[in-house]
Structure formats: structure tokens, C-alpha cells
A and B are shown apart, each in its own frame.
Chain A
Amino acid sequence: MRNPLADVPVPLLDDLIDDEYVRSLVVGVVGTLGLLGLFGLLFPGSVAGDLAGIVFSTSTAASTARLAAPIVLAGLGGIFAEKSGVINIGLEGLLIISAFASVYVASVVGIGNAVLGIPAIWIGFMAGIAASTLLAGVFGVVCIEFKADQIIAGLAVWLIALGLAPFMSTVFFGGVNTPNLGANVGWRYSAVMVVVATVASWWALNRTAFGKHLEASGENPKALDTVGVSVSRVRYAGVLLSGVLSGVGGSALALSIGQFVGSGETMVQGKGFIAIVAYLFGNYNPLGTLGAGVLFAGLDAIQIRLQQLGYAVPDTLVQTIPYVVVIVVLALVGRTRLPAAAGDHYETEE
């Protein structure tokens, strides 16, 4: 079954995207948005008009960027880990821990204060990254050194963070939700970070020697080992990068509103799992992951705006769309192929 969307020529992207699946994704999204804009312009009073107004409004862009940042960044991180052969299902936990740590450290430093000339909020931001990277490091040691089952260890990372963040919040602030910092990181920062991280990830994966080593490590670690590159090292790098990127995402999420919410599933609310969906949907391509992440976050943002305009959209059902989509994609399209050695331990001979 040939996908007609894949045949549409995309002059600028041809060099960048050789994967026809990702291409059809890009073409599909751009096409839908274009049609929507067209209808919106032609029939300003209709539903399409309202929808177009929402889709192309700044506030939607802002909330999309805010919601997409953790999804896309954690998704990019997930690519690095999984490409290297370590399935990191604990992205959710990394987001949670970094969201909390960023707010905590920012509040300890105190908004208005600065360390070495860096404002507290950015100190908090870096602390979030550090916390997430640390937890990813633990995960890496457990998986690579102690040969733990990656899925179970990933679940453990999630559960630990899910317990630890509200626990710490209660210890320090007396409740599972932290008080609001009264300052935040603007959505434009999130948007810039997402774009920069996506482009940088694409470059790292496709143009650097490290990217080749990552791919070899996940596809045929023995091939990498026999040419003298340490598989463990490459895998550690992949896992730690997933920590760094998730840390950026988690910090951006919490600091964009200046608060950590720790009740229930915490403010992360499954975005780490959606991130997995996003990179699978994007077929391990950072650009595809960006597209999928923005699509899911955008749907959410549009749905919120529609509610505000009085359209009775069952929000819960809209939130269900990405999950259903990924199941359908996995089942019907079946394009997503995990790296051949993902999930397997690797040991050098003798």
C-alpha cells in the first residue's frame, strides 16, 4: 500500500527528510492547516472561521508552545536513548523530577536574587536539568551496569519521581503543590528551546559520528564493539542525553507557570508517555517528533480555546486522540520499527 502523501514533492525538505513516512506527516499537517486557513478566510463566520481564528492566534501559539515543550523535548531525549538501545519508558519520571527541582531551586535562591549574575529562575532551570540528568544516570547504571530489565527500570523511574516530587514538596512547602514563584519563563523561550533542540538533535543524529555510533549501538552493538567503540559509553551518552532533554522539558513546563503541581499524576499528567508516542509517531526523526508533539499539544490548546468560545467539545475525548492515533499507526501502518537491539543487554566478549 503506497502512501499518496509521500509522493508530494517538498523542494526544501527533500534533502532533509529521506523518510517518506515523515514526509507524508509534514505534508499532511501543512496541507490541513493550509486548507483550514483558506476556509477560515473564505467563511469567516463559520466553525471553520472560528477554528482558523483559534489556530492562528497568538494565545493558541503560546499555549501550544507551553504544552508542546515537555512532549517534544522528552521525545527527543527518548530518541537518543532508544536509538542507543536503551528503551527509556521513564521519561515521565524525568519530567516530573525536573519540574519539581526547577521550581524548588528557584524558590530557594529566591526570585529577584541571582547567582553569578544568573537570575534565580534560570538557576532553577539548570537545577531541573541536573536533577533529571542525575535520575537518568541512575537509570543508565541500573540498565547498563546491572543489566536490569529496561521496561521495569523505566517504570521504577516514573514511580520514584511520582512519589519523590510530592514528598519533597510536602517536606519543603507543606503541600504537594508548591506555592507560585510569581515569575515565569515566557512561552517564546520554550518555543525557541524546542526548535533549537530539534534542529540540534537532528544534526547530532544524522551528521555526527556520535549519531552513527548511536545507531550502530542500537542496531548491532557487536559491530560497534568490534571496531573499538565502547557500546556502554555510547549507551550512557544516549541515556544521559534523554535526561538532559527531558530536564529542559520538565523545567520549561513548570517554570512557564512558575509552580509545581504535585497532586494526582502531577502537572506532567502523562506527557512523558505522550512523548514516547510522539517519537514513535515521528519514526525516531526529530523533525517528525516536533511535528507530532506540536500536533498533540496544538489539539489540546485548540480544544481549550474552543471550550472558552462555548463549543461543547468533550475535552477528555480530544485528549484521547493521540493515544488512539498511535495504536492505529502501530497496528495498521506498522512503520515503527524499534532498533534491532533495543532492550537487549550487551556484553563484550571475555
Chain B
Amino acid sequence: MSGRDGGRLPAIVRRVLEPFVDRSVAERVLISLAAILLSIGVGFAIVLVSGRIAQCSTAAWTMPVTGLGFCYDPIEVYVVLFNGALGYPFAVGEPGIFNAAWTPFNLSFGLTLSETTLLVFTGLSVAVAFRAGLFNIGTQGQLVVGALATALTVLAIAPLLPAGPIAGVVVVAVGTLAGAVGGGLWGAIPGALKAYADANEVITTIMLNFVAANVAYVLVLEVFRAEGSSVVATRYVPEYAQFRPWLFPNSSDFALLALLVAVGFIGGLYYAVEHTPFGYDLRTSGVQAAAAEYGGVNAKLTTVRAMTLSGALGGVGGAVWVLMSEGRWIESVPDLGFDGITVSILAGNNPLGVLPAAFLFGLLKGGALEIGFRTDVPTELVGVLRGLIILFVAMPEFFRMAGRYAGLGSDGPGGPGTSGTGGEDGESEASGDAAGSGSDAAAVGGGEADA
């Protein structure tokens, strides 16, 4: 093959590297970053405006030049948010100065990582369905079911084994598996409904979220409620059957092991999606269903499989929530499933992007608590930021337009850059070809409907 560089990397290496050099992935990353920045900007404005309206005795921040006083200091909010979520690696009030007493194993950072870990699972759950062209809004319900399955399974088998670390490993493994099975089955329902009854999965998964929450609640309320409990919750699982918080403070509810498991899942899922025949079928169904069918992919089966896998990942998220965070199933299940949608979208539905995206939302969660402690700004601000990020990530066209406006031309953050890999020689070749087959090119360019 002429015209191609001689010292080429082996195909597998290029495959692995491709996502990082691929221009569409680069564009995705740029858009995600821009969306985050824009959300922070809008959040800044919201803090300012509400700080102007709110009542307070002394101004927390005075706008330069104008001298207008505001009750909330928007800069402080963000400093506290991100610094606080990490446990103050920088000295408070003096940004840029390293805090000598800081260690990574602090409570706030633990909380951040705990949230990150849980969001990795729900983010992967949404991502894998997305890649198959399915919009799984039901990760929340799958997580609830998986969590209950885990709690009940662990409570059932723990007494059968002698207490101890070995039993702990077995029980945790079986419990996690139970979560995967429970979530997987719950996810298979909308998958099957989609495949065999053509029921829109967006609607059915939303509905199944409510059903899961309500049924699980009633089940625990009526059957599995711990005696004497003031809330609707099961009994606690034995401590040896939980993910233990090594290094981090107990109250952070964070186990490094769980995060490692999560990272393992990311790697595994990335490999499965990108480098296996199953992943090829899944992705192809997602981007071009008709071509997948042509290529021998069983569309119905792939739909059910993808939803089952997605549900199983949500269920594992539920298992980790029980075995790491709560130690039991409790009615107030956090919105991890919905946040998973946000994480997945921010990650461009790429398993590798799920980790940074989950970490960002972990930061927001950890930082929210600090905002509550340290500032007068309501912590609900973080919820607003979450919504804004998802809104902005949803509109890549906006950033492409902005990029073009800013004079970046087609090389802008969104432009399908003409200087991309292989694009240059592609262009010259293509134009030569167009000249050779004038009628064909005209058919494409001129939009002959029958071409």
C-alpha cells in the first residue's frame, strides 16, 4: 500500500489509541469541558442574582467597580465546592497555598470517592444501553431492585457461614451477583417489551422506576422490615460482609476496594464494547440498526441482552450501595440512577469517559456538603448545576455554532476539522475521484433522489 507511513503501529495498538486521537472523541471531550464551564458560569450568575435578592446583614461579596453588595460570594462558592470536596488540599481563604496538613485519606474526599464509585456503575449502566441505541432511564429502578436483592441475599446466606474474612469474600461476591441478577432481570423487562412488543423503552423504564421504588418499599415495609426500626429498612448486613473502608475514615462510607472493582468494570466493559464481536453487534445496532441486521445481528436479542447487561450494572451499583454505603436496604435510595444518565452523557457514552465524569459528579456531591457547612448558599445549587451540565452537554450544536462564531472556522471545537488524521490526503484523492466519475459525484452533490 503506497502513501501510508511505513513505521505503522500494530493494529491493536492503534485500535486502543484511536479513541484518544479520534477527532470525534476529541470534539466530545471539548464539548463536555465547555458544557461544564458554561454551567459554572451560569451557576455563577444564579448565585449573584440570588445573592442580590436574598436578605443578609453584611455583604459577603462586593462587585468590583460597581460597589454593589451581594449576600453570596460566587467565587467562594466554587472554591469551597472543589477545595472542600477534596478535603481542602489548599488552605481556606488563600487559594493557591497548599495545606500542609492535608492527606488524601480525609472524610470529604472519601465521600467524594464514595459517590464516584457508585456513579461509575450507574454511568456504565446507562452508557452500555446507549451504545446499543437504547435509552435506559430505568437504571434507578434497576439499582433499587438490585440493592434489595443484594440485601436480602446477604441476610439470608450470612448466617449459614462462619463469620470471618473468607465468608466475607464469599458473601460479598454472592451478594453482588444477586444484585446483578436482580437488576438484570428488571432491566430485561423493558428490553423484552421493546424487542417483542415494540414498547418505547423510554416510557417503560420511567414507569418501571416508579414500580420498582413502590414495590420494594411495600415489600420491605410489610415483610422484611427490621424490627424496631423507625425507618423502612431491612436489618444491617454483618460488618464482615461489607466493603470495608481501608485507609479512609469509617464515616466516609468509602471502600477503596469498591472503587478498584468499579475501575475493573470500566476496563472490562470498554473491552467488551470495543473489542469483542458482542460489542461490535451492540454498537452497530446502536448507530445503524438496518446495517446491523444486514450484518447478521439479531436485533431483538441484542436489545434484550443490552438492557439486561445495563440492568445488571445498575444492580451491581445497588449492591455496592448496600454493601459499602448503607449496610442495609433503606427506603431513601439516592438518585444514583438518574445521575448515571448525566454521567453517561457527559462521558459521551464511552466507558472510559465514565470515570472522570463520575468523579466530577462525586466532587459536586462532596462539595455540596461543604457548601452547606461553610457558606450561606443553599446546597441545592449543586442540583441546578447538575441540570445545567446535562442541558449543555445535550446541545453540541450550540458549541459548534459558538466555535464557528468565534472565528475558529471548521477547525473549531465542533468543526469536522479538515486537518484531521488522514483527512488531507483523503481530500485530494476524493476530488480526483470526483473528476473521474462526474455523474456519480453529481448524484451525491445534486441530491438526485434516486441515487
A276 within 8 A of B: yes
Which residues of A have CB within 8 Å of B386?
A: 159, 163
Given the interface pairs A157-B391, A159-B338, A332-B197, the reply to whether A316 lies near B204 with Cβ below 8 Å is no
B91 within 8 A of A: no
Give the interface segment out of B19-27, B214-222, B285-293, B314-322. Answer: B214-222
Which residues of A have CB within 8 Å of B342?
A: 159
Docked complex Cα distance between A338 and B214 (Å)? 28
A233 within 8 A of B: no
A330 touches B203 (CB 8 A): yes
B240 within 8 A of A: no
Select which of A162, A172, A314, A331 is within 8 A of B387 by beta carbon: A162
B397 touches A161 (CB 8 A): no
Docked complex Cα distance between A338 and B199 (Å)? 11
Which residues of A have CB within 8 Å of B163?
A: none
B381 touches A167 (CB 8 A): yes
Given the interface pairs A89-B202, A152-B390, A166-B380, the reply to whether A171 lies near B50 with Cβ below 8 Å is yes
Give the interface segment out of B176-184, B205-213, B430-438. Answer: B205-213
Given the interface pairs A163-B380, A166-B383, A323-B211, the reply to whether A330 lies near B193 with Cβ below 8 Å is yes
A225 within 8 A of B: no
Given the interface pairs A159-B383, A316-B217, A334-B198, the reply to whether A166 lies near B378 with Cβ below 8 Å is yes
Interface of A is mostly: helix
Q: In chain B, residues 110-150, which have Cβ atoms closer than 8 Å to a Cβ of chain A?
A: 135, 137
A280 touches B388 (CB 8 A): no
Count: A-B pairs, CB below 8 Å: 143
A160 within 8 A of B: yes
Chain B, Cβ-Cβ closest to A329: B199
Chain A 290-302 interface mask (CB, 8 Å, partner B; 1/0)? 0000000000000
Which residues of A have CB within 8 Å of B217?
A: 316
Q: Looking at chain B, what size class is its interface with the partner chain?
A: 35 or more
Which residues of A have CB within 8 Å of B202?
A: 89, 151
A167 touches B199 (CB 8 A): no
Given the interface pairs A146-B401, A331-B193, the reply to whether A171 lies near B211 with Cβ below 8 Å is no
A156 touches B394 (CB 8 A): yes
A152 touches B394 (CB 8 A): yes
A3 within 8 A of B: no
Which residues of A have CB within 8 Å of B54?
A: 171-172
Docked complex Cα distance between A2 and B207 (Å)? 27
Chain A 161-178 interface mask (CB, 8 Å, partner B; 1/0)? 111101110111000100
Q: In chain B, residues 380-417, which have Cβ atoms closer than 8 Å to a Cβ of chain A?
A: 380-388, 390-391, 393-395, 397-398, 401
A148 within 8 A of B: yes
Which residues of A have CB within 8 Å of B200?
A: 330, 338
B312 within 8 A of A: no
Docked complex Cα distance between A152 and B19 (Å)? 24
Chain A, Cβ-Cβ closest to B447: A349
B330 within 8 A of A: no
Select which of B345, B382, B388 is within 8 A of A160 by beta carbon: B388
B384 touches A164 (CB 8 A): yes
B53 touches A172 (CB 8 A): yes
B218 touches A316 (CB 8 A): yes
A164 touches B397 (CB 8 A): no
Distance from A303 Cβ to chain B, minimum over Cβ atoms (Å) = 13
Instruction: Tell me which of B197, B395, B397 has the highest count of chain A C-beta atoms within 10 A of its own C-beta.
Output: B395
Docked complex Cα distance between A4 and B211 (Å)? 29
A314 touches B222 (CB 8 A): yes
Chain B 258-273 interface mask (CB, 8 Å, partner A; 1/0)? 0000000000000000
B341 within 8 A of A: yes
Which residues of A have CB within 8 Å of B198?
A: 334
Distance from A335 Cβ to chain B, minimum over Cβ atoms (Å) = 11
Chain B, Cβ-Cβ closest to A87: B202
Docked complex Cα distance between A338 and B198 (Å)? 11
Distance from B22 Cβ to chain A, minimum over Cβ atoms (Å) = 21
Instruction: Tell me which of A146, A157, A276, A326 has the highest count of chain B C-beta atoms within 10 A of its own C-beta.
Output: A146
Interface residues, chain A, with chain B CB atoms under 8 Å away = 89, 142, 145-149, 151-153, 155-164, 166-168, 170-172, 176, 270, 273, 276-277, 280, 314, 316-317, 319-320, 323-324, 326-327, 330-332, 334, 338
Q: List 25 A-B contacts (CB under 8 A).
A: A89-B202, A142-B391, A145-B397, A147-B395, A151-B202, A155-B338, A156-B387, A156-B391, A156-B394, A158-B387, A160-B384, A162-B383, A168-B50, A170-B378, A273-B206, A276-B206, A277-B203, A316-B214, A316-B217, A317-B218, A319-B210, A320-B210, A330-B193, A331-B197, A334-B197
Query: In the complex, given contacts A156-B387, A330-B197, what are 16 additional A-B residue pairs having Cβ atoms less than 8 angstroms apart?
Result: A142-B391, A142-B395, A142-B398, A148-B394, A152-B393, A157-B387, A159-B342, A163-B384, A167-B381, A167-B384, A171-B54, A323-B207, A327-B208, A330-B203, A331-B204, A334-B199
